[in-house]
Amino acid sequence: MGETLNVIILDKEETSRNIIKNYLSCDEDISVIGEFFDFELGYDFAREKGKCLVFIDISQEQNETISLIKRLKENNKDAFIIVLSAKPSTETIIKVMRAGAKEFLNKPLIQSEFIETIKEIKSEFENAEPADSCKIISTFSNKGGIGKTSIAVNLAVELAQLSKEKVALIDLNLQLGDVATFLDMNPPFAMDYIANNINNLNEEDLLKAMSRYKNTSLYVIADPLNIDNSQDITAEQIKNIFAALKKTFSYIVIDIGTNIDSKTIAALDSSDLILLIAIVNLPAIRSTQRCMDLFNKLGYSSNKIKLVLNRYMENEDIKTSDIEEVVKQKVYWKIPNNYLTMMSAINKGVPVNEINAESNISVNYKDFASKVSDYLITRKFDKNYGKRELNI
């Protein structure tokens, strides 16, 4: 017999509550400890129960219920939430997953699907991995000056703004990185200190050693102040830093250097999403092709790699379709060329949205953050429901 899984049901329909209880009844490790017609009462109950599985039906009063899910997740991080809905849509799925739900099931419930989901949840519950919600996104190109830092910085700022969750921004250009300059920060501690002390820092110490950007939920680890100190940083330490950050952060954005060394590979390996940055000119496209060869050799699935065209202008000589054909990868996102806003942002040490939130590049970064976070959420959903047609 495994660990007992305490279940709480919030559903306005008695029949539906009975169906769930009936489906769960054949598992002796599961105990239904509460069922509620009144969701606020159910919330008060579930909030205090620590590790538990909560079914919440959002078919009625959808928006109120989604905020309740968010509140519950904030006040009981250990609650596993399964959302049920008779009116599912892609937008709803994204909203509830973003609010903190673990799974989504359509109503009417199909017994086989329900049992399969519970089986997966149970194994996850028993292995309870608190860090599994963190996603690592890296910006990469083997060419310099292509926009890796601009993209990492502005995307991280927007992800923090959008999600309100903790986002870590890491400069892996260990010799002369630019992240701190792009955000006009003078971090008292940098990568060398954190790498050397990572085994002795608890979550709170680590957060204190990082530098918070203004009053936001973005925290930065900059490159070492002294170049000599960067040589001693090992790939092992980098991996340990990621493992530690995963416990506290929802997103880790890494600005990876152009050097292909063991630290770069460690960061690429750890990434859930690699933004492969290119600009529309022949040398850059050739380099991008070489990066794809490297990724193939490293055994990465093409799903993990997203091709991003930076400084994009309409009516480029080279067509997007030609690039896709050469690189053998669809273009995932295009960032417009806006030299003035970008340069002004870099020179002032602020993200582009602080220069002009209405500029094409600021709006583009906002949409980009939304696309990346939706992708990461739905990819998780896709993985669990691989066989189902989603059309997301």
Ligand X SMILES: Nc1ncnc2c1ncn2[C@@H]1O[C@H](COP(=O)(O)OP(=O)(O)OP(=O)(O)O)[C@@H](O)[C@H]1O
Residue nearer to Mg ion on the CB measure, 55 or 140: 140
**Stretch of residues binding ligand X (CB under 6 A), selected from 25-33, 69-77, 103-111, 140-148:** 140-148
Residue nearer to Mg ion on the CB measure, 149 or 264: 149
List the x/- string, 244-263, binding to ligand X by CB under 6 A. --------------x-----
376 Cβ partners below 8 Å, 6+ apart? 135, 137, 272, 273
For residues 109 and 85, is the Cβ–Cβ distance under 8 A? Answer: no
**Stretch of residues binding ligand X (CB under 6 A), selected from 141-149, 187-195, 206-214, 264-272:** 141-149
User: Which of Mg ion, ligand X, none sits in contact with 187, Cβ below 5 to 8 A by type?
Assistant: none
Instruction: Write down the least CB distance from residue 174 to Mg ion, Å.
Output: 12
Q: State phi, psi for 7 to the nearest 5 degrees.
A: -115, 140
**Stretch of residues binding ligand X (CB under 6 A), selected from 63-71, 281-289, 291-299, 335-343:** 335-343
Applying CB under 6 A, which of residues 7, 198, 266, 346 lies at the interface with ligand X?
Answer: 346
Report the Cα 15 to chain-centroid distance in Å: 37
Applying CB under 5 A, which of residues 149, 217, 248, 250 lies at the interface with Mg ion?
Answer: 149
Instruction: Write down the least CB distance from residue 365 to Mg ion, Å.
Output: 16
Token readout for 199 is 């085994």
Applying CB under 6 A, which of residues 42, 88, 100, 147 lies at the interface with ligand X?
Answer: 147
Applying CB under 6 A, which of residues 133, 150, 264, 362 lies at the interface with ligand X?
Answer: 150
User: Which of ligand X, Mg ion, none sits in contact with 361, Cβ below 5 to 8 A by type?
Assistant: ligand X
For residues 222 and 191, is the Cβ–Cβ distance under 8 A? Answer: yes
3-state SS, the chain, equals CCCCEEEEEECCCHHHHHHHHHHHCCCCCEEEEEEECCHHHHHHHHHCCCCEEEEEECCCCHHHHHHHHHHHHHHCCCEEEEEEECCCCHHHHHHHHHHCCCEEEECCCCHHHHHHHHHHHHHHHHHCCCCCCCEEEEEECCCCCCCHHHHHHHHHHHHHHHHCCCEEEEECCCCCCCHHHHCCCCCCCCHHHHHHHHHHCCHHHHHHHCEECCCCCEEEECCCCCHHHHCCCCHHHHHHHHHHHHCCCCEEEEECCCCCCHHHHHHHHHCCEEEEEEECCHHHHHHHHHHHHHHHHCCCCHHHEEEEEEEECCCCCCCHHHHHHHHCCCEEEEEECCHHHHHHHHHHCCCHHHHCCCCHHHHHHHHHHHHHHHHHHHHHHHHHCCCCCCCC
Applying CB under 6 A, which of residues 144, 196, 214, 349 lies at the interface with ligand X?
Answer: 144
Applying CB under 6 A, which of residues 149, 288, 362, 373 lies at the interface with ligand X?
Answer: 149
Q: At what angle do helices 148-163 and 339-348 cross, to 10 degrees?
A: 80
Using CB under 6 A as the binding rule, whether residue 369 contacts ligand X is answered as no
**Stretch of residues binding Mg ion (CB under 5 A), selected from 25-33, 107-115, 140-148, 308-316:** 140-148
Instruction: Write down the least CB distance from residue 149 to Mg ion, Å.
Output: 3
For residues 139 and 148, is the Cβ–Cβ distance under 8 A? Answer: yes
**Stretch of residues binding ligand X (CB under 6 A), selected from 14-22, 122-130, 139-147, 187-195:** 139-147
**Stretch of residues binding ligand X (CB under 6 A), selected from 7-15, 118-126, 315-323, 330-338:** 330-338
**Stretch of residues binding Mg ion (CB under 5 A), selected from 170-178, 193-201, 218-226, 353-361:** 170-178
Angstrom distances, CA of residue 246 to CA of 206, 349, 359: 12, 27, 33
List the x/- string, 162-181, binding to ligand X by CB under 6 A. -----------x----x---
Residues 20-79 that bind ligand X (CB under 6 A): none
Residue nearer to Mg ion on the CB measure, 151 or 209: 151
Residue nearer to ligand X on the CB measure, 83 or 146: 146
Using CB under 5 A as the binding rule, whether residue 154 contacts Mg ion is answered as no
Binding site for Mg ion (CB under 5 A): 148-149, 178
Binding site for ligand X (CB under 6 A): 144-150, 173, 178, 258, 310-311, 335, 337-339, 342-343, 346, 361
